[in-house]
Amino acid sequence: MSDTDDSRLEAALAAIAGAADGDALEAQRIAALGKQGWVSLALKTLGAMSAEERLVAGPRIQAMRAAVAEAIAERKKALDSKALEAQLASEVLDLTLPAPATPRGTVHPVSQVMDELAEVFADMGFSVATGPEIEDDWHNFTALNMPESHPARAMHDTFYFPDEGAERTFDRAPNSRRTLLRTHTSPVQIRSMVEHGAPLRIIAPGRVYRSDSDATHTPMFHQVEGLVIDEGIHLGHLKWTLETFLKAFFERDDIVLRLRPSYFPFTEPSVEVDVGFAIENGRRVLGGSGDAPGHAWMELLGSGMVNRRVIEMSGLDPDRWQGFAFGVGVDRLAMLKYGMDDLRAFFDGDARWLAHYGFSPFDQPTLSGGVGARA
Ligand code: DAH
């Protein structure tokens, strides 16, 4: 190898070490290691040499190539860390600036009202029970005293799941259970009695489904079920509980109830509960007797003493255990308390509606701090 190569290497290493930026360094790389670069051309000369010449020249040229490659890598590392330092120096973080506002979600009125209900009833010794939304017809109907042919089943506009292996309903094997979307929260009564026995004090809030749709009905909506099972329970307990619940929930002492005889297969006797209200500024405001001037009654919920056949089917002795139950629409309670007028908007997922009617996550309902959210 010639001295020219030595001085060429020296010059190249100096140029690489002095490359001011990535582009300059790349130009140096191409000049040496590129297809027409001097190192590459030197490597090509090896082919024309005799074996002895190659034995001497080969390692030298390879060593030159390694030296150039190493110098390039080193310079690249230095340039990179210089660039990072420059970036860090130019980016100043001013910790005294106010933090940018983060958009915050709201608690849906249905969730809020369910929390409020849990708070009100927890104070009366109730716990919160749940059951599956995909139910079977035994829990949803049969055990609630609605046998197969019962006309009340037809009232429920039920969403049934396709019956596996059966062409028609009557092809089902005897005792097989058809699955459906629960039409009410009442099956949780059955599940709670079967699982926990008596005595029992539960509320069961949750989603229910019916094939029904207009301004006041959506195919999915929410109910809360209440159930008390104990010895010596009578209608007086039911009335006191409902009155105490509604006064606490609506935060008014002047709530007046009217109990009307009614019919539900799972209660005997059954009562429909009305509340007195007046129209103020175009809004229904609960309070006062429905018979007072300017007032009227509004149907609010269904309830009654649990039918002894239901207690029996749930595995309890109806001669020892009695109880009462009630069911009420959660969406309805929310609309009455917070003044929405279209049920469908509850489930549209419109962020503007949620921003307006939703609640702050910090607004936890408590009996001491007020069960209702601050408006
Ligand atoms: N399950 C009934 C419905 O969905 C509501 C109901 C009425 C529930 C009376 C009850 C009750 O627990 O006692 O229409």
C-alpha–C-alpha distance, residues 58 and 55, integer Å: 6
Q: Which atom of ligand 1 is nearest to the CA of 328?
A: 5
* pLDDT attached to residue 319: 97
Q: Percentage of residues in the chain with pLDDT exceeding 90? A: 71
C-alpha–C-alpha distance, residues 22 and 11, integer Å: 19
pLDDT band at 371 (very low <50, low <70, confident <90, very high): low
C-alpha–C-alpha distance, residues 305 and 279, integer Å: 32
pLDDT band at 148 (very low <50, low <70, confident <90, very high): confident
Q: Which two tokens stand for residue 345?
A: 């908007």
Backbone angles phi, psi at 108, to 5 degrees: -65, 140
pLDDT at 107 over 90: yes
C-alpha–C-alpha distance, residues 239 and 354, integer Å: 35
CA 186 to ligand 1 centroid distance, Å = 6
C-alpha–C-alpha distance, residues 342 and 349, integer Å: 13
CA 183 to ligand 1 centroid distance, Å = 10
C-alpha–C-alpha distance, residues 151 and 153, integer Å: 5
What is the rounded average pLDDT of the residues 286-299? Answer: 96
* pLDDT attached to residue 154: 77
pLDDT at 1 over 60: no
* pLDDT attached to residue 4: 74
CA 323 to ligand 1 centroid distance, Å = 14
287 lines ligand 1 (CB under 6 A): no
pLDDT at 2 over 70: no
187 lines ligand 1 (CB under 6 A): no
Does residue 199 have a cis bond before it (omega within 30 degrees)?
A: yes
Residue nearest to atom 4 of ligand 1 (CA): 184
List, for residues 211-233, the tens digit of each pLDDT value.
988 878 899 999 999 999 999 99
C-alpha–C-alpha distance, residues 269 and 306, integer Å: 8
Pocket probe mutation, ligand 1, options 145, 184, 301, max atoms within 8 Å of Cβ: 184
- What residues are paired with 209 via a beta bridge? 220
Which residue, chain included where needed, has tokens 């929260």?
185
* pLDDT attached to residue 119: 96
